Each structure stands twice: as structure tokens, then as C-alpha cells.
Structure 1
Amino acid sequence: MQYQSFPGVKGSSTSLQKLAALRLPSLTGKRFLDVGCNEGFFCGYALFNCASQVVGMDKSAHAISKASVRFPDAEFINQSWDSLPTGPFDVITLLSALHYAEDQAELIHKLMALLADNGLLVLELSLAPGKQDEWVKVKRAIDERYFPTRNKLNKILQGYAWKVIGHSVMQAGDPQQRYVVHIRKFKPYAWLLMQEPASGKSTISRRMFGGKPDTKIISGDHIYQQMSQGEFELSHKMRNLVAADFSTATIDKTTLKVLEQGLAGELAQLWADRAGFRDFVLDSYVPAEYRQQIKAALQSLGYFPVEVSWDDYTPLTKVQESTNSARQYETYLKKEQSALACECVRVSKQLKKELKTLIQWHLDSPGSGKWCTGTETICVAGWAVTRDYLKTSYRLYVSGPEGEAQFTPEKTRTDVLDDVFGSAETAPAFWQDHPCGFSFELPASWLESGFELGLVIHDARIPLAHIAISQPKAVSLSTQLVQGLKWLWG
């Protein structure tokens, strides 16, 4: 069944809308990993957004084969998350897949261990209702899975910095709302009070942090005084600058000289050493034009610098900006992938008009427009419900140059009964007792030569569709854009 959506290929997941909902940061120059990448839609976006390394992994071999054709500049690995690639990665995505893990908490911790110190894990999942710290078994259209309550998620992530960004895009059959969660590693805070001398820095630091044993207050004035008296191991350049004409009344001038000579990194390292890699407050004047250098130096040492006078946290990507990026990526995909020569599935419906009120059916897979790499087997899946005098058991047949085969529907599809009859409980007793869903596989050669799919009822053959490969053809960019917009906006 086609999962991810691409221009001209509709899947069960609306991938562009999901991309916008994820609100990813800029990926320029970053290392990107998508766990459960399917056909590589988000890996393609990472390439489009100038990531330096893009890795996608999925346990489905034929999904990986398609991803490799769509995005040859990315690295795709056919394996489960029991064996993860070597990190670190700056951004990792795990989308609509956590509920398949045997130990969901362990998988999150393993992915966090792969993150770079400044990395971001983007998690998309559903949260179960309830106020307890528990896993809740939720019945879905296709199976039953365990989902965490909000309190369970809070317990799993208590060792990290995280935030629920908002809703993700719902998908047909979803019993619970999906959410997007951004997760980062905890870092020690460096609270930076760097205003002008005599502006109240010392009073503020005492009022805000005095008496907190886990937060050390570092006085820049005191550090400079110790430096001038020969304490600490310093570079020759730093020692000479501080020692020359030092006095407690001219610390602002000393600080300016140190920073003008490019010693911001050495100064930040000295403060960090005094803090012992834990939260600390810096009470030290830094000229405005050098404050960003100090923050960058502390960040490179593993701290999360916060300037107390304002919030300096990198703002979350705005909704409109994220949506625009998704649309630009769509345009890019249409332009770049229109040049790729890849055979596609063509499904031609054949059910006679006079039988359409008696037979309702749907083909989930393969879908028209689905890419074929020629290596995978064909999964034929869907459902069929008959009415009135045709309401009886049936078999499915496939017929073509490769021969003929018949199959029996074996899947109970309550979602189909809900859709066709209003609810499974009010559906005819026959369809409550008989499965209407089918799924079977055929060799790839059947698709290459084309075959007919239909029903056998009372020994009569009723054709439903002819399924074959269509040869790739060039489509103008304007036509692609029109088709893509129709698909995106329904």
C-alpha cells in the first residue's frame, strides 16, 4: 500500500502537510537521520534544505529501493531500528512509527544517544487519553497498539528538554490525535548578566540565584583580580593584557582589551572551569558587540547560554515559514523528479455500470501512479462488498499472460463496514460474519505483462480492473504544478 505522498502519487499519509506540521529547523550543513523513512520523502527534503549528510533507514526492502531511486544523493539502509547507524546526527526524525517498537521508551533513549549535543529529535506520535502514568492499548482500523498518556510521555522524557509543538496531520483510521514533539538533550545553563558596570548585575544575581547550591555565581571582577595576581593557567597573551595597569576601577577597559585581541574563547573556558560543568551565573561586564562571541564560546563548551535581559533561544520556525518551505519542496520535487524515468502502475477500472450499485470495492494497493523499480513483488490489497442478490461469498481472480490464480478474502475490515453501512454493528449480518478484505502477493512479472482483477460469484467472473505498468512520459512543468495543487488542496 502506498504510504508517503509525492506529486502525482497519492498515499495514505499527506506528506507535505505533515512536513509543515513538523516545523523542522534549518537543515543546512546538518547531519539528518530519518528512522522508518519509507520512500524517503523527508530525506529528500533534507537534501533540498542543504543537509550535509542524509541517512534514511527502513525495514522494508522495496520501500528502500524506491527511496534510493527517488533520492540517489541520500544514503538508505534496509534494516530495523534494532541496529542503528553510527552517529552523531544533528536532526533525527521518528514519524508515525514509535507504537511499533517493542520497547518504546528504550527506542527514544537510543535515538537521543545518537544526537549531537545541540541535536534535535522530532517525534510524531499519538497520545492516549487519561491522567495516569501508563500505556493504553488502543484499537486501530488495522490492529491494536499501545500509546502513552501525556503523563507517561512526561516520565519517559524527564531527562531531556522537550516540548509538544502542536498537532500533526490526522490519517484515515487514526483513533487518537497525533502530536509533534521536539526533544533535546539537557545542558547546564550559563545565565549571563553582561550589562554595563554598576547596572545592578551583582544584586540581580544574588536575588535570583543566591542560596541555590546547584548554581554557582561567578564574579568577573573577582576572576580578573585573581588573574592579575598570577592565579590560573593562562596564555602568555592573556596574562600580559590583564596584568598591564590593572585596577578594579578599570575592569571594563581590561575586558575590552581582552576581547579585542580575540581571547573570548579562553575567557569562556576559564569561567566554565570554575563552574565545573554545571549551571552557573556570570556576573561580568561584556561589551554588547562581543556578547554573541561569549555565548557562542560557551555553547561550544556544551552550555546553554541564556542572557538574562532577554530570551536568546532560537525561535521556533513560524507556521507560515514551515508551510512555505513545504510548498517550495513540492515545486522542487515536481521539477526534479519529472525528469526521472520510472515506470508507474496504471489501474483501469472495468466494473460494468449496471453492477456499481451491487458491488462496492476499493484497491488499496497497488495504486495508480505508484512507482515500480521492477524488483519488488506486487502486493494486491483492498476490499469488496456485494449487495442484494450478489450478497454471497466470493473469490478473487487474477488473469493474464502469466496465467490465472484465485484467492479468498480473509481480512475483517470494520473500517469498511463503518464507511459502507454507517457502522460495523448495523452492517448486514452476512458481512459481520464474512471478511471483505483481501491481500495477496504476485511476482513482479504479472505487473510487467498486465493482469485482470475481478470477482468470482456463483462461477461467474466479474472484472473489476486491469492493472499494468505504464511507460514513463514527459509532463510539462505547468501541468505538474496544476496536478500537484489539485492533489495538495483536494
Structure 2
Amino acid sequence: MQYQSFPGVKGGSASLQKLAALRLPSLTGKRFLDVGCNEGFFCGYALFDGATRIVGMDKSAQAIGKASARFPDVEFINQSWDALPEGPFDVITLLSALHYAEDQTELIHRLMGLLADDGLLVLEISMAPGQKNDWVKVKRAIDERYFPTRIKLGHVLKDYAWKIIGHSVMQDGDPLPRYVVHIRKLQPYAWLLMQNPGSGKSTIARRGFGNRKDLPIISGDLVYRRISTGQHEVTTKLHKLVQETYRSTCIDKVTQNVMSQGLADEMVALWSSLAGFQDFVLDSYVPEEFRQQIKDALQSLGYFPVEVSWDNNSPLTKSQTTSSKARQYEAHLKKEQSALDYQGVQVTKQLKKELKPLIQWHLDSPGSGEWCAGAKTVRIAGWAVTKDYLQTSYRLYATGPEGEVYFSPNKVRADVLDAVFGSAEASPDFWQAHPCGFSFDLPAGWLESGFELGLVINDARIPLARIDISQPRAASLGTQLVQGIKRLRG
């Protein structure tokens, strides 16, 4: 099964939803690098959003071939991150790939070295649970990889401005939740940090005052969350308003509502009481029109308020904006794709209805709609489990232009047994002792003529699917229209 999703082609990753979750800034006029670009989905978005230089790199030649076919105006490089392209770049993305690096810390530092002074590194990463500064080995469905605890991530990024933006999109088989982290080079420090979301407030607070035990840092995000769950004693009006509107991804809306309802003074009193009415650092977004009111309220309590402002050329993109951009990009892809003359895979299932209770199977690769971009071979991968009286060994066959070939299951798939039988331990003894997954390659020419895939059980042939190439629906309709016009003229 392919990784990225495109219109008409479902992949393992929900690419449009991920695009919205990343909350990328505007890329107009920017230099963009996608490390581990796969088939170029996000490079295509950078092209769509007006980036002036776009580079995508991936060690998979097949993925780069497909990316180049989809987006011929983008610079794609078939190489690993051991050799990075020449910078600088304004925006760099590294999405769910850091755990494959032998030295994850060193890769982050090298990518940060490629950033422009006001650039942004967007990291999609999973974090392991734990209260230690550790890399934790985590078992996944396909392998074991090291993931940082949140403390380790903070240690790795201690010399940068960084913020966990929120959750990314989960995928089947993920053992840990995914997060989106925005990383920038360090900006100046301040006591009253009231700038817009994503402008660097939290990092300035950590960097500038985190090592001073006598100076508490009051996080507005955390205070609002605790208000919503009843952990702070506040008025009924404030508690109800925050409880109704609180979302971790839209603190700016919560703050705007609180300030607009005349609750700024109560928030100042709460922040001050949490600091013990002593010196503190405020890390909380405040709309510009209410910042003077915050300073006045602090002054009335005996504070000398100090607001430090800094240039913010790349504020955090609003989630509504990125969701809208993702939808626009989807429409753009559909329009551009309909004009392309390409070939896609078509999988037609053939298993007889009466056999479906006895045989469960799935084809991971190739998937219907998957592009064929000049590959010399096609990977056939998936799984099949037989039940009841058919519970026995089987072989797979493929009948095509060069005759018939046979293969045996060669992969243990505990995830399949979990899905089919509830758990691998509860599955029949036969399937605990025999592999049910398969993976093999066929010449790409087999797709052009089409071939049949099936099982051989006790010398009986059971067809599963017909796999061949078809033109996309939009292209075939256009062809039919042209042919119809020709017939009318004739």
C-alpha cells in the first residue's frame, strides 16, 4: 500500500488532514525543503501555495519517480539525508521520519543549520511516555525504533525556539500519538510575553527564565486548561465561558472571548495569585487591544509591568486557514490530475460470495488508483487467512502474460491475527505457527496485460482478484467525449 494519499488514491497516510494539522505558514515567495518527501504531496502543496524554490528528497527511487511524474516543476532528489541540499530554506518539513535516523539529534541540528534566520522547521514526531531524559525503544508493527520522551525532546531543542502545536493524524498501527512541533532559531526574551500564537512566547519563557527557581513562569495555555477542568477557583462566569470554548488548538479564541467579556482583571488576579504575588513571567497570548488593560491591572496590584515586543514575520497559521488551504489544494490536485495522461492500477476482486466467510484477505500493494511511473517491477503484498475446514496451508498463484508463478506466505502478521481473531493469542494454533502475510515482485509488464491473483488450496484454484491498468475516470470520460464529437462530424 502506498504511503501518501491523493485524490482517487488512498494511502496509508491521510495526507490532506496531515497538511491541515501541520499549520504551515504561507509559503508564497519562500524556499521549501521536504526531507523524506515520498511521492511529493507536500512539495506539490508548496508549488500550489507559491513557493519560489521547492526541493523534495527521498531515498526511494520509486517514490521520487512518482513524485517527478506528478509535479514536474519541482526539484526532486533521490538521496538519503546523509547529504542535504544547499540552503538556506525558509521552511523545512521532516514528517514521521526522524526515528529512522541513526543520530536523531545530529539530524535536527543539521536541518536547523539549513534554516534562514527567521525560518521554520516543522517536525512531525511521536513521543514516548516517561519522566526521564531518554530515548525509548518502542516496538512497532514492522520494527523497533527509538523515540524521545518529552523531556528528551526539550533537551535536544533547548537551544532553539520550539512549540508543540498539537496532535497530528494517527495511522493504523501507530503505537504512540503523533505531534507537530514548530522549531525556530532563538528570539529575544521578555517578562510579559503576550504576542500572537506561535510567535515564540513559550520558548522565550523557557530560555530566558527557566533556570531561575525564584521566578515562576505562568503559562496561559495551562491556566485556561485548568480553568476548564475546575482546578482553579474562579467566578462562575469565567469557568463557564472557558469550559464552553476551550480547545488546545485555539487558545487565541478562548482568550479573545475572555477579554471581550470583561474578564481581563480577573485573569490578572489569577495569574498574580498563582505566582504568589511576586515576580513572574507571563506566557499567554493577549489580543493587542487588551494589552494596556493587562498592564494597568498589574500596576494596580503593585506590579511594574514590562512588555517586550519583537518582530513576528511568521506567526502561527490559523487552523481554519490551513484547513481551507488543504481543501483548495485537493481541488487543485483533482483539476491538474484530470488533465494528465497517466496509467493507474485497477484491482477487481473475484472471490466468490460463498467463500468469503472462509477466506479473509487484503491486498496492501498495489492499491486501486496507484500510479505507474516507469517502475521495472510491481510489488504484490498483503495477507490471507483461511478458516474452518479450509484452515490449511496454501500457495499464491499469479497467472499473467508469461505463464503462471507460485509463491508461499512468508511473513508473520500478528496485526492481522489481532484484527481477524481478536488477538494473536486467541487465533487458531495453525495460524500461530504459520505465516499469513505475503510479499513478492512481478515484472511491471504483467500490469500492462493484466494478471489474476489467487490461492491454491488442496489443488483447488481460488481466484482473489484481477489486477491490471486502467485510465482514470476523468481521462476516460474526456476520451469518450472526443470520440463522440468525431463521430458526429463524420
User: What is the rounded CA distance, in whole Å, between the counterparts of 2:424 and 2:442 in structure 1?
Assistant: 31
Q: In the TM superposition, what are the counterparts of 1:31-180 in structure 2 within 5 Å?
A: 31-180=31-180
User: What is the rounded CA distance, in whole Å, between the counterparts of 1:312 and 1:408 in structure 2?
Assistant: 59
- Runs of 4 or more above 6 Å deviation: none
Tell me whether 1:348 sits opposite 2:363 in the alignment: no
Q: In the TM superposition, what are the counterparts of 1:183-198 in structure 2 within 5 Å?
A: 183-187=183-187
Q: 1:170-203 CA distances to partner (integer Å, 9 max, x unpaired)?
A: 00000110000001112456999xxxxxxxxxxx
Counterpart position of 1:25: 25
Q: 1:369-396 CA distances to partner (integer Å, 9 max, x unpaired)?
A: 0011233410100000000111011111
| Stretch moving more, 406-415 or 24-33 | 406-415
Check the 8 A contact 1:161/1:183 in 2, yes or no: yes
| Stretch moving more, 82-91 or 14-23 | 82-91
Counterpart position of 1:367: 367
Counterpart position of 1:320: 320
Q: In the TM superposition, what are the counterparts of 1:133-282 in structure 2 within 5 Å?
A: 133-187=133-187
Larger radius of gyration: 1
Secondary structure of the structure 2 residue equivalent to 1:474 = helix
Secondary structure of the structure 2 residue equivalent to 1:18 = helix
Alpha-carbon offset, residue 473 of structure 1: 4.6
Alpha-carbon offset, residue 363 of structure 1: 0.1
Number of residue equivalences: 368
Alpha-carbon offset, residue 309 of structure 1: 6.3
User: What is the rounded CA distance, in whole Å, between the counterparts of 1:127 and 1:361 in structure 2?
Assistant: 33
Structure 1's 376 and 162: CA in aligned 2 closer, same or farther, altered over 3 A? Answer: farther
Structure 1's 309 and 26: CA in aligned 2 closer, same or farther, altered over 3 A? Answer: closer
Counterpart position of 1:413: 413
User: What is the rounded CA distance, in whole Å, between the counterparts of 1:383 and 1:23 in structure 2?
Assistant: 37
Counterpart position of 2:394: 394
Counterpart position of 1:337: 337
Secondary structure of the structure 1 residue equivalent to 2:432 = helix
Counterpart position of 1:440: 440
Q: 1:246-302 CA distances to partner (integer Å, 9 max, x unpaired)?
A: xxxxxxxxxxxxxxxxxxxxxxxxxxxxxxxxxxxxxxxxxxxxxxxxxxxxxxxxx
Check the 8 A contact 1:402/1:445 in 2, yes or no: no
User: What is the rounded CA distance, in whole Å, between the counterparts of 2:312 and 2:369 in structure 1?
Assistant: 47
User: What is the rounded CA distance, in whole Å, between the counterparts of 1:328 and 1:465 in structure 2?
Assistant: 35
Amino acid at match of 1:135: W
Amino acid at match of 1:137: K
Amino acid at match of 1:414: A
Check the 8 A contact 1:395/1:408 in 2, yes or no: yes
Counterpart position of 2:2: 2
Alpha-carbon offset, residue 432 of structure 1: 1.2
Amino acid at match of 1:58: D
Mark the runs of 5 or more structure 1 residues left unpaired by the alignment.
193-207, 213-305, 478-490
User: What is the rounded CA distance, in whole Å, between the counterparts of 1:188 and 1:102 in structure 2?
Assistant: 33
Check the 8 A contact 2:56/2:74 in 1, yes or no: yes
Counterpart position of 1:241: none
Amino acid at match of 1:451: F
User: What is the rounded CA distance, in whole Å, between the counterparts of 2:346 and 2:87 in structure 1?
Assistant: 41
Secondary structure of the structure 2 residue equivalent to 1:141 = coil
User: What is the rounded CA distance, in whole Å, between the counterparts of 2:476 and 2:370 in structure 1?
Assistant: 19
User: What is the rounded CA distance, in whole Å, between the counterparts of 1:56 and 1:160 in structure 2?
Assistant: 24
User: What is the rounded CA distance, in whole Å, between the counterparts of 1:35 and 1:312 in structure 2?
Assistant: 26
Alpha-carbon offset, residue 474 of structure 1: 2.7
| Stretch moving more, 27-36 or 452-461 | 452-461
Amino acid at match of 1:151: I
Amino acid at match of 2:397: Y
- TM-score where L is the length of structure 2: 0.72
Mark the runs of 5 or more structure 2 residues left unpaired by the alignment.
193-207, 213-305, 478-490
Secondary structure of the structure 1 residue equivalent to 2:179 = strand
Q: 1:81-107 CA distances to partner (integer Å, 9 max, x unpaired)?
A: 111111111100000111111111111
Amino acid at match of 2:388: D
Check the 8 A contact 1:350/1:463 in 2, yes or no: yes
Secondary structure of the structure 2 residue equivalent to 1:105 = helix
User: What is the rounded CA distance, in whole Å, between the counterparts of 1:474 and 1:309 in structure 2?
Assistant: 53
Alpha-carbon offset, residue 336 of structure 1: 1.2
Secondary structure of the structure 1 residue equivalent to 2:136 = strand
Amino acid at match of 2:398: V
Structure 1's 154 and 310: CA in aligned 2 closer, same or farther, altered over 3 A? Answer: closer
Secondary structure of the structure 2 residue equivalent to 1:330 = helix
Secondary structure of the structure 1 residue equivalent to 2:17 = helix
Check the 8 A contact 1:62/1:376 in 2, yes or no: no
Structure 1's 115 and 309: CA in aligned 2 closer, same or farther, altered over 3 A? Answer: closer
Secondary structure of the structure 2 residue equivalent to 1:372 = coil
Check the 8 A contact 1:394/1:456 in 2, yes or no: yes
User: What is the rounded CA distance, in whole Å, between the counterparts of 2:191 and 2:50 in structure 1?
Assistant: 33
